[in-house]
């Protein structure tokens, strides 16, 4: 970990062999998890509750492994590698499906609530994973995400077709056409396509909800909030 910190800080430029060693260590962790998850499944069978137990498995975040320059770790960017996570739902007796529609970890709660028979209406952004792929609720759905650390902040919005990210620290916008560029390698923000304008409208509304200018905060936080608002105004995200 000390070595990785030096890599992140730019003190060390890792070789391709060293990068592969780090990836193999992560693969070993995944294998360790997989073996122990197998033990859990065996225990459910031993207790004879495997046929009335729902399993919902998901990752809280992804991980960068030098996919973009020498960046490593998580909670720093909104790249595909950090925000796309495993999500597996097992319901005894239900036929296997692999679905491609865009989903969010915000969907976990309404899914479990529905499976437990709750009929209460919740004012949340999530959509139950039991909702059919062709449901009107899923039509042209957008999911949102953000990351903050120190004085840096990023917000993003994504649909099945497009993705847009605003980086506050760098004062940069990133726009990707996921139909042609699923690995997010070409930033199209300079060409300002019509679709980018639509995505920016969605992101603007989300950022306004994300920032609470009326919160009771200490002076330094107020100053930072005011500075952030001015930066967002300059880029057209706030009025």
Same domain for 124 and 155, yes or no, is no
Alpha carbons within 13 angstroms on the beta-carbon side of residue 198 total: 12
pLDDT in tens, 150-167: 778 899 999 999 999 999
Please give the share of the chain, as a percent, with pLDDT higher than 70. 88
Same domain for 55 and 21, yes or no, is yes
Contacting residues for 54 by C-beta, under 8 A, at least 6 apart: 89, 90, 91, 92, 112, 115
Mean pLDDT of 197-223: 69
Same domain for 7 and 85, yes or no, is yes
Residue 3 has pLDDT above 90, yes or no: no
Q: State the SS3 of 33-72.
A: HHHHHHHHHHHHHHCCCHHHCCEEEECCCCCEECCCCCCE
- Rounded CA-CA distance 157/143 in Å is 6
Residue 195 has pLDDT above 50, yes or no: yes
- CATH number for position 213: 3.30.1120.10
Q: What pLDDT does 67 receive?
A: 76
Residue 228 has pLDDT above 70, yes or no: no
Q: How does residue 35 score in pLDDT terms, banded at 50, 70 and 90?
A: very high
Same domain for 53 and 64, yes or no, is yes
Same domain for 146 and 90, yes or no, is no
Same domain for 53 and 19, yes or no, is yes
How many structural domains comprise the chain? 3
pLDDT in tens, 76-88: 788 888 888 989 9
Residue 147 has pLDDT above 70, yes or no: yes
pLDDT in tens, 83-108: 889 899 999 999 888 888 889 999 99
Q: What pLDDT does 51 receive?
A: 93
Q: Give the global pTM.
A: 0.77
Please say which residue of 32, 61, 95 terminates a domain.
95
Same domain for 117 and 176, yes or no, is no
Q: What pLDDT does 10 receive?
A: 82
Same domain for 83 and 4, yes or no, is yes
Same domain for 74 and 146, yes or no, is no
Same domain for 77 and 167, yes or no, is no
Same domain for 130 and 173, yes or no, is no
Domain residue limits at 64: 1-95
Q: How does residue 227 score in pLDDT terms, banded at 50, 70 and 90?
A: low
Same domain for 43 and 16, yes or no, is yes
């Amino acid at each position: 970990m000390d070595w990785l910190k030096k890599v992140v800080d730019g003190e060390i430029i890792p070789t391709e062999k060293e990068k592969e060693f780090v990836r193999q260590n992560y693969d070993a962790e995944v294998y360790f998890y997989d073996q122990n998850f197998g033990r859990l499944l065996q225990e459910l069978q031993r207790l004879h509750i495997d046929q009335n137990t729902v399993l919902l498995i998901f990752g809280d975040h992804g991980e960068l492994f030098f996919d973009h320059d020498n960046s490593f770790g998580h909670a720093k960017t909104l790249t595909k590698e950090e925000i796309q996570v495993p999500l597996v739902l097992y319901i005894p007796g239900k036929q296997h499906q692999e679905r491609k529609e865009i989903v969010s970890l915000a969907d976990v709660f309404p899914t479990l609530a529905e499976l437990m028979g709750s009929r209460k209406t919740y004012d949340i952004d999530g959509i139950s994973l039991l909702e059919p792929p062709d449901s009107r609720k899923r039509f042209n759905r957008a999911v949102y995400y953000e990351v903050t650390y120190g004085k840096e902040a990023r917000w993003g919005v994504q649909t099945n077709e497009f993705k847009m990210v605003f980086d506050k620290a760098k004062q940069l916008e990133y726009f990707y056409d996921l139909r042609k560029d699923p690995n997010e390698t070409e930033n199209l923000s300079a060409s300002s396509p019509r679709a980018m304008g639509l995505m920016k409208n969605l992101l603007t509304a989300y950022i306004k909800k994300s920032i609470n200018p009326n919160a009771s905060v200490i002076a330094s936080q107020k100053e930072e909030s005011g500075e952030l608002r001015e930066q967002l105004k300059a880029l057209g995200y706030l009025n």
